[in-house]
């Protein structure tokens, strides 16, 4: 089955072309977050959480994923689009009907 519920993204950079939450498409070249709603423009996995000397979380080993990835293909951890509810649960996904060509 092809899961086609992701947001269009640039396969070279893995950055979405439009914010999946607010549909803003105005980004600077180096933008990491949407300037309108603050959502990540890359569907990264949650990576490893550690704490700095003051108890603040620091995340490492985060990988960029396609916009429809619910889990990271590299480490298997959930992605931010999965956690933030941008993507439906995989077993709730209803694929578009396939047509015979």
40 touches 80 (CB < 8 A): yes
For 42: left if phi > 0, alpha if psi spans -120 to 50, otherwise beta; the answer is beta
Report pTM: 0.82
Q: What is the pLDDT of residue 6?
A: 81
Average model confidence (pLDDT) across the chain: 90
State mean pLDDT over 20-30.
95
* Confidence label for 99 from pLDDT (cuts 50, 70 and 90): very low
Q: Break the chain into its structural domains and give their ranges.
A: 1-87
- Predicted confidence (pLDDT) at residue 88 exceeds the cutoff of 90: no
Residue with more model confidence, 12 or 91: 12
* 39 CB neighbour count, 10 Å cutoff: 17
Least confident piece of the model among 19-33, 38-52, 80-94: 80-94
């Amino acid at each position: 089955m092809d899961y086609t519920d992701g947001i269009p993204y640039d396969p070279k950079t893995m950055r979405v072309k439009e914010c999946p939450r607010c549909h803003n498409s105005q980004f600077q070249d180096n933008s990491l977050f949407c300037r309108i709603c603050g959502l990540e423009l890359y569907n990264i996995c949650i990576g490893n959480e550690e704490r700095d000397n003051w108890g603040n979380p620091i995340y490492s080993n985060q990988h960029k994923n396609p916009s429809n990835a619910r889990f990271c293909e590299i480490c298997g951890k959930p992605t931010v689009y999965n956690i933030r509810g941008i993507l439906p649960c995989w077993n709730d996904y209803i694929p578009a009907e396939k047509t015979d060509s």
